[in-house]
Structure 1
Amino acid sequence: MGLLTIGAFAKASRLSPKALRLYDELGLLSPARVDPATGYRLYAPEQLERARLVAWLRRLGMPLARIGEVCELREVDAAAAAREVRAYWAQVEAETAARRDLAAFLVDHLSWKDPGMSPTTKPLGIRYAALSDTGLVRESNQDTAYAGSRLLAVADGFGAGGAPAGAAAVQVLKRLGVEGVAEGVGAGVPVGEILNALEDAVEQAGHAVRDIAGADPAPREVGTTLTALLWTGSQLAMVHIGDSRAYLVRDGGLFQITHDHTLVQSMVDEGRLTPEEAASHPQRSLLARALTGEAGATADIRLHDARPRDRYLLCSDGLSAVVPTEDIRGVVTSARDPEGAVRELVALANRAGGPDNVSCVVADVLEPEE
């Protein structure tokens, strides 16, 4: 079979001539020959397989640049190309799940009204405690733990300026908590305004961290994780970036409500590692996202409805990466009060060798009369 005209090739590959011309311009699918006199593009039959792969990947919604990478991989290692497609689809599913959670929240928020809530209804209260410890190996403590009537936060700094970077990020959110009280956050302020205020605060926190990192000879190596809950009286607005964690204790169960932003966790999401393999992976602390000296990091921001007798735990990876989850659950479900819980959690980490700084914040949600 000889060369195919662009029309015949388009029909066989199910790609439009317009798409073929675009892919030629991008170097994604170049014709086998271009007639020097007419400028007509001619394609070889053996190019159909690549063209069909491009068409299938476009139907998945894959960006053209990434399609080019998959096509090039396929030429040398089909298994590697398959892994790249699997990784892309895992990313799509993760993003879809996040949008689904947001959509479900918005549906509930727009369609449900608690008949028991009124302008005179007293908000729920919280009782809290925070504790940070250097551990048994590190010479200094780069963690920041804070608990107040409006804000719960843990930041785990890294690099030469890690300690001030974490403290600066938390300080920005502390200002939001204080100003939020003055502006009536949680007393009828629309949810969108709360989330927008939190997004603005995260952006300001990023600027604060970049200012500190900019004074370091290696600014890209300075930054911090940040996991925080802003208390509104009936809900908790959460911001999260990095591998510090937030857990919810409800009805005797311990539930992780944050998703680690680490390279190893992304490999678990893509199916390349099992959770058991990830727990002992040598690069399990390598961050994929954090507040650093570079702009562009995106934090997870969402709302959680609070219930009386809920207990929240925020911690740095000096606890979660050192102490088994079941041991953490045992402490946070049995401790009588937040003060006892944070002391015992820090003690657990140190009994396990204390290889890292460890910080914990525990808060109980109380009935108004409590």
Structure 2
Amino acid sequence: MTYEIFAQTDQGRVRQNNEDAVAFDPQTGLCLLADGMGGYNAGEIASGMAVTFIKQELGSWLLQAGNRASARELRRTLETCVHNVNHSIFSAACSNPDYEGMGTTLVAGVFVEGRLVLGHVGDSRCYRLRGQAFQQITKDHSLLQEQIDAGLMTPEQALTSPYKNLITRALGVEDSVLIDINEYRVELGDVYLMCSDGLSDMVPDGILAAILHASGTLQQKALKLVHAANEGGGRDNISVLLVHATEDESRRGLLSRMLGK
């Protein structure tokens, strides 16, 4: 199995700057997306710090560990990277008045062989399209999600709630942070969508699924997703990162030669 990856970020139609950050490394299967917050462009600083630091530190570790790394080791290393960058962002926010209150969400995925180790903080999301089934596989760290979990609000009511963007966890706002990390089995043909709330707040899940179902390259689908968010209002920065699990072409060629095809 091999992974095709494409990322796209857009300022949207309302914001004056882009506080999202995305990065990926095809060699290690590392994918990162962050949505920053804070005045004086501090959100850009926080999301940029998170993505840059984790890509460098976790990416280096993955290159050394290779496919030999166990899920437990990967989880521990991801937790350590998040702890360290959280401390860095928090320290920067405390030492510079312009950065006061800055923070960022994070989705961090590592695709290794046939598995995905996925960590997240905040309300940036990861969805999975498997066959006809489209599913959100992260759970928002938000006041809204807590109200849904407590039975105080239905998912339908949540769509029009004024408290959509009140998150309960973010990197850099406290001296420690808890990241949720889960492992998933990846199947051939799966498509994974990581996104900031600039996409998920503007575009219903049904339309997201329809765009991913349609024919076209990952780049074409990413551009259609961004366009749909802007057509829906574009009230926030929009970032998408798409991953498609496909058959390894080198193995397919070897098997064809062995079978005389």
Residues 91-102 of structure 1: matches in 2 within 5 Å?
Answer: none
How far apart in 2 are the matches of 1:339 and 1:233? 23
Of 37, 43, 47 in structure 2, the residue corresponding to residue 158 of structure 1 is 37
Aligned-pair distance for 1:180?
3.1
Aligned-pair distance for 1:218?
7.2
- % identical aligned pairs: 33
How far apart in 2 are the matches of 1:282 and 1:159? 19
- Offset from partner CA, 1:326-365 (integer Å, 9 cap, x none): 1111111214221111111000011111111000000101
| Alignment of 1:136 onto 2:13 | yes
Partner residue of 2:64? 183
Partner residue of 1:239? 119
Contact 1:125 1:368 in 2 (8 A): yes
Contact 1:223 1:293 in 2 (8 A): yes
How far apart in 2 are the matches of 1:233 and 1:162? 34
Aligned-pair distance for 1:219?
5.7
Query: Match of 1:195, as an amino acid?
Result: R
Question: Number of residue pairs matched?
Answer: 246
Q: Please give the secondary structure, in 1, of the residue aligned with 2:97.
A: coil
**Which structure has the larger Rg over C-alpha atoms?**
1
Of 90, 99, 117 in structure 2, the residue corresponding to residue 210 of structure 1 is 90
Q: Unaligned regions of 5+ residues in structure 2, if any?
A: 251-261
Classify 1:335/1:288 alpha carbon distance in 2 versus 1 (closer, same or farther; 3 Å).
Answer: farther
Classify 1:335/1:215 alpha carbon distance in 2 versus 1 (closer, same or farther; 3 Å).
Answer: farther
Q: Please give the secondary structure, in 2, of the residue aligned with 1:129.
A: strand
Q: Unaligned regions of 5+ residues in structure 1, if any?
A: 1-123
Residues 1-370 of structure 1: matches in 2 within 5 Å?
Answer: 124-149=1-26, 150-160=29-39, 161-185=42-66, 187-217=67-97, 221-369=101-249
- Offset from partner CA, 1:31-53 (integer Å, 9 cap, x none): xxxxxxxxxxxxxxxxxxxxxxx
Q: Whose RCO is larger (CA < 8 A, sep 6+)?
A: 2
How far apart in 2 are the matches of 1:307 and 1:176? 28
Contact 1:165 1:212 in 2 (8 A): no
How far apart in 1 are the matches of 2:138 and 2:62? 25
How far apart in 2 are the matches of 1:218 and 1:181? 35
For the aligned residue pairs, the C-alpha RMSD in angstroms reads 1.6
Aligned-pair distance for 1:148?
2.4
More helix by percentage: 1
TM-score, with structure 1 as normaliser: 0.64
TM-score, with structure 2 as normaliser: 0.89
- Offset from partner CA, 1:262-302 (integer Å, 9 cap, x none): 10110110001111111111011101111123123211012
Classify 1:147/1:335 alpha carbon distance in 2 versus 1 (closer, same or farther; 3 Å).
Answer: farther
Query: Match of 1:358, as an amino acid?
Result: I
Classify 1:174/1:339 alpha carbon distance in 2 versus 1 (closer, same or farther; 3 Å).
Answer: same
How far apart in 1 are the matches of 2:204 and 2:114? 31
Aligned-pair distance for 1:177?
4.2
How far apart in 1 are the matches of 2:98 and 2:161? 26
Partner residue of 1:28? none
Contact 1:164 1:212 in 2 (8 A): no
Aligned-pair distance for 1:314?
0.2
How far apart in 2 are the matches of 1:338 and 1:148? 16
Contact 1:220 1:294 in 2 (8 A): no
How far apart in 1 are the matches of 2:215 and 2:180? 29
Contact 1:177 1:230 in 2 (8 A): no
Contact 1:222 1:292 in 2 (8 A): yes
Contact 2:71 2:117 in 1 (8 A): no
